[in-house]
Structure 1
Amino acid sequence: MSSRRPDGSGPIAPAVAVLLIAVLLGALVGTWPPFVAVESGSMTPGVERGDLVVVTATDRAPWGDLATAADADAPTRLGGPGDVVVYAVPGVGGRPIFHRLAFPVDAGEDWTDRADPELLAADCAELATCPAPYDGYVTRGDANELYDQSAGIAPVVPEAWIAGKALFAVPNLGWVRVGVDAAAARYGGVATGVVLVGLAGLAGGLGALVLGRLRRGRRR
């Protein structure tokens, strides 16, 4: 009677490995989830639709404080100067917005005086977001023709709305996240989760089968 050692590459191993990597990455960058999937082309060419972007907390060392495109010593992030951030407007719903910080503004400021006139649809008197109601930032998608605050996408963005800033992008890997979100929206989170666990188990089983055959082949 022969005995076999337990094989650590069972059906749940891939799912556990992915979860462990995500948890470790989240601990490193200080945000959860530690990445976002880009669903629009508003940040091309630096970030394309379907890319997966790793984000960090805004105050996380060693990446420093927030920097805007107008800062003289702004670092280059994803194809341009200044930080690209993830922010959400409270009470509006919808997806978080993934755009670049153009420049900071102070409460009560006519921020159009410092803006690029080609990125404005109107002057301060005609914009609901001007003068700035509070301290914050003017933002824009690199590929968009107007500032978010001129296009009606968002009001001036205070730092409290910013969930994280981008570090780097992995091309095309975000399509997985986009697909999962689309499936969850259509079929529900529970059904999608069951399918994903099943697929992870299937992948783990196939991987264990392949590894087992390779090991047996080496022993011969």
Structure 2
Amino acid sequence: MNRKAAGLLAPAAAVLLVALVVAAVAGAWPPFVAVESGSMEPAVERGDLVVVTATDRFPWGGLVGHAEPGAPTRLGDRGDVVVFEPPDAGTRPILHRIAFPVSAGEDWTDRADPALLDGDCDDIAACPAPRDGYVTYGDANGEYDQSAGIAPVVREEWISAKALVSAPDLGWFRVGVDAGIARLGLLPTAVGVGGAAALAGGFGAVLIGLIGRIGRGRDGPRE
């Protein structure tokens, strides 16, 4: 029984170990983000899993906007893609790209892309900039977050991590777990996921044993 339990727990332990190693290198926890919307398509799609790092982590130190000279390419375009969560916004963390930094009191529309603005500074609640921070946007969206009212000017302390790479479709499990927690609560979801994992592990063990028996039967002596 102990061997069977260890066999069932080994995959989960391996996943946790990998996550801890990635977190140690990246300096962020959790080191993975599951994408829940299509606002960063086509480079990042709903259900993708994104590896993130701390904003000051070597060798990716600092935050670089899309409009800055020499901006590195991140997830299909120029500039850093960051995870941020404005306080009192009532939304989940947002994964969007930095356009450029702004200073308190600045009319930042003067150096913005007109195609991503809905009016001039007088028409936008986040203009002039109420604080030092960043203007952001989703690659698939038609406006800056601050023009569309998705987010205020983003303070640097609201940014928890920045994205490095994405893996297609590996985030669906996390999306499903989050949805289960939101609908059923943490404990019922944990019990359900644990039960499903145990069932899958048990089925796999039975299947492997059956295949082994069939193999032994074929290789055994014939009368």
TM-score (norm 1): 0.90
How far did 1:214 drift? 6.9
Moved more, 89-98 or 146-155: 89-98
Label 1:172 to 1:6 Cα distance change in 2 as closer, same or farther (>3 A): closer
Structure 2: distance between partners of 1:106 and 1:211: 62
* Equivalent in 128, 133, 138 of residue 131 of structure 1: 128
Q: Which ranges in structure 1 are unaligned for 5 or more consecutive residues?
A: none
- Maintained 8 Å contact 1:12/1:200: no
* Higher helix proportion (structure 1 or 2): 2
Q: Deviations over 1:83-114 (max 9, x none)?
A: 11110110122211111000111111110000
Higher relative contact order (CA 8 A, sep 6+): 1
Displaced runs of 4 or more, over 6 A: 213-216
1:10 counterpart residue number: 7
The alignment partner of 1:168 has SS state of strand
C-alpha displacement at 1:209, in angstroms?
A: 4.4
Cα deviation for residue 128 of structure 1 reads 1.3
The residue identity in structure 2 corresponding to 1:95 is: R
> What one-letter code is carried by the residue in structure 1 that aligns with 2:107?
D
SS of the equivalent of 1:11 reads: helix
* 1:119-174 Cα shifts (integer Å, max 9, x gaps): 11121122211111111110000111110000001111011000110000100111
> How many angstroms apart in 2 are the aligned matches of 1:179 and 1:132?
37
Aligned to 1:194: 191
Taking only aligned residues, the RMSD between alpha carbons, in angstroms, comes to: 2.2
TM-score normalised by L of structure 2: 0.89
Which moved further from structure 2: 198-207 or 68-77? 198-207
- Residue number in structure 2 paired with 1:169: 166
1:155 partnered with 2:152: yes
Alpha-carbon distance between aligned partners in 1 of 2:113 and 2:7, rounded to the nearest angstrom: 57
* Residue deviations 1:18-44 (CA, integer Å, cap 9, x gap): 222222221221111111111111111
Q: What one-letter code is carried by the residue in structure 2 that aligns with 1:193?
A: A
Task: Look up the equivalent residue of 1:68 and give its one-letter code.
Answer: G
